[in-house]
């Protein structure tokens, strides 16, 4: 604001000195050169790097990836300067649906370079040329996040002949399960069973077998894993 007032005063004063005229001429040509440069920049063909945000569909928080999925791509685009300016005002966003690829507790996802380029080209102006994309493709293996859940359950002896009773020591075991975090609350004590088979020989200890009917249980173990016993007739 102060500079504008100063220039205004200079213009209003009679141009008595050659120094004043030189300053005004210099300022005029600076402004002219700036305008010409700006016009040339808008019309000339240039190459710039444009960030592209990625939004994924079908990826739950329960999944972990061996290689983190990139959240942004860097692309090189060539076009006239005035057209390239639109990418500053209208950021590009690439939507990638991984739903068809994520099946089961573990697997692999892959987005090819062709799919990525097609998704980006669909958003570019018709005159813009896509030169390069970084990274060119996306690939990673995934697995469902799991945790441990425990229950204390009674042990049942199966295959006991009529007229006999098998007493176990102890009669209960602690069962540790590896379950999906997503389905943690879907696994209950009723889903598992701890059993021992009637001894065929003179085994000193009976091994405990854990049976389960839940698809959300990855593995199961118990403590103790072998029990003392006596047979009553």
Q: What CATH number did the domain enclosing 125 receive?
A: 2.170.120.30
Q: Residues near 130 by Cβ (< 8 Å), separated by ≥ 6? A: 75, 76, 77, 117, 120, 121, 124
- Domain identity same for 128 and 160: no
**Predicted local distance difference test score (pLDDT) of residue 10:** 47
Mark whether 140 and 150 lie in a shared domain.
no
> Averaged over 206-227, what is the pLDDT?
94
Final residue in a domain of this structure, among 123, 144, 165: 144
What is the total count of domains within the chain?
2
Q: Which uninterrupted H or E stretch holds 89?
A: helix 86-89
The residues near 164 (Cβ < 8 Å, ≥ 6 apart) are 231, 232, 233
- What does the pLDDT read at residue 202? 83
> When comparing pLDDT for 24 and 70, which is higher?
70
Share of the chain above pLDDT 90, in %: 64
Q: Which residue has the higher pLDDT, 196 or 86?
A: 196
The domain of 105 spans: 45-144
Residues 113 and 164 in one domain: no
User: Is 155 found in the same domain as 204?
Assistant: yes
Residue-wise pLDDT for 140-164, tens only, equals 999 888 999 999 999 999 999 999 9
């Amino acid at each position: 604001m102060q500079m504008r007032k100063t220039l205004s005063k200079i213009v209003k004063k009679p141009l008595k000195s050659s120094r004043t005229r030189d300053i005004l001429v210099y300022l005029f040509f600076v402004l002219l050169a700036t305008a010409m440069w700006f016009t040339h920049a808008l019309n000339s063909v240039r190459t710039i790097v444009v960030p592209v945000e990625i939004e994924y569909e079908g990826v739950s928080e329960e999944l972990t990836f061996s290689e983190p999925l990139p959240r942004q791509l860097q692309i090189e685009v060539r076009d006239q300067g005035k057209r390239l300016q639109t990418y500053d005002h209208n950021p590009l966003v690439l939507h990638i649906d991984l739903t068809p690829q994520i099946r089961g507790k573990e697997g692999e996802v892959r987005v090819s370079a062709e799919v990525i380029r097609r998704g980006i080209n669909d958003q570019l102006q018709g005159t813009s040329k896509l030169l390069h994309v970084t990274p060119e493709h996306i690939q990673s293996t995934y697995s469902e996040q799991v945790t441990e859940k425990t229950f204390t359950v009674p042990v049942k002896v199966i295959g006991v002949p009529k007229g006999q009773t098998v007493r176990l020591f102890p009669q209960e075991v602690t069962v540790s399960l590896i379950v999906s975090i997503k389905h943690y609350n879907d696994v209950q004590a009723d889903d598992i069973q701890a059993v021992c088979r009637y001894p065929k020989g003179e085994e000193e200890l009976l091994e405990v077998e854990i049976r389960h009917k839940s698809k959300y249980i990855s593995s199961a173990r118990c403590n103790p894993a072998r029990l003392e016993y006596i047979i009553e007739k």
